[in-house]
């Protein structure tokens, strides 16, 4: 993710942004605007409103991320509609996270096997008989090709295991 253009702004402008967001969130009749999550529609649209008012269009994701992190890091500095002290400026970091996707996949997988035989004509029939008897597995060969034809996602689970690198 590229850096937010808001990182370059001075403390005065950044304080104004934090206070604007604070006031916008208070108008949603929430008693404690610190309990918000950036994925809440009201938070996202409030940040976009601030970015538009500042003349930056709808804002990029990195700008929205930066402004909410700035707000979240400095919420405790707000007292009677003013900010006391200098803001803590968030810095960009690299994180890992996982997403479990459950899906049914229609695919053709080609496995290549090696077999010894006395006859070219007997290789596949003997392997089929061994498979039927449980002495051979078609999946034990070397995967030489996989063609995905279709898939149907049945569930997506966003795992809460975010780790900073």
- Domain hosting 44: range is 5-93
Q: Is the pLDDT of residue 105 over 60?
A: yes
Greatest Cα pair distance in the chain: 91
- With 0.85 as the threshold, say if the pTM is over it: no
Q: Look over the chain and give the mean of its residue pLDDT values, rounded to a whole number.
A: 88
Query: Which residue, of 39, 65, 93, is where some domain finishes?
Result: 93
Question: Among residues of the chain, what percentage have pLDDT more than 90?
Answer: 58
Pair (40, 115) in one structural domain:
no
Pair (82, 103) in one structural domain:
no
Quick one: pLDDT band at residue 128, thresholds 50, 70, 90? very high
pLDDT, greater one: 85 or 81:
85
CA distance 17 to 24: 11
Closest CA to 14 of 57, 73, 60: 73
Q: pLDDT at position 114, please?
A: 93
Pair (87, 16) in one structural domain:
yes
Pairing of strands 142-164, 95-112: antiparallel
Quick one: pLDDT band at residue 81, thresholds 50, 70, 90? confident
Q: pLDDT at position 60, please?
A: 87
Q: pLDDT at position 97, please?
A: 86
């Amino acid at each position: 993710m590229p850096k937010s253009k808001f990182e370059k702004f001075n403390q005065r402008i950044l304080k104004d942004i934090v206070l604007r967001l604070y006031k916008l969130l208070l108008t949603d009749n929430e008693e404690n605007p610190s309990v918000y999550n950036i994925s809440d529609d009201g938070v996202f649209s409030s940040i976009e409103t601030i970015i538009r008012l500042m003349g930056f269009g709808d804002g990029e994701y990195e700008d929205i991320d930066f402004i909410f992190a700035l707000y979240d890091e400095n919420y405790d500095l707000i007292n009677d509609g003013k900010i006391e002290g200098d803001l803590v400026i968030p810095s960009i970091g690299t994180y890992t996270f996982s997403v479990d996707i459950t899906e049914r996949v229609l695919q053709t997988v080609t496995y290549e096997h090696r077999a010894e035989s006395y006859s070219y004509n007997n290789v596949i029939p003997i392997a089929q008989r061994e498979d039927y008897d449980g002495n051979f597995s078609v999946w034990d060969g070397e995967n030489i090709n996989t063609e995905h034809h279709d898939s149907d996602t049945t569930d997506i689970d966003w795992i809460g295991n975010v780790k900073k690198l």
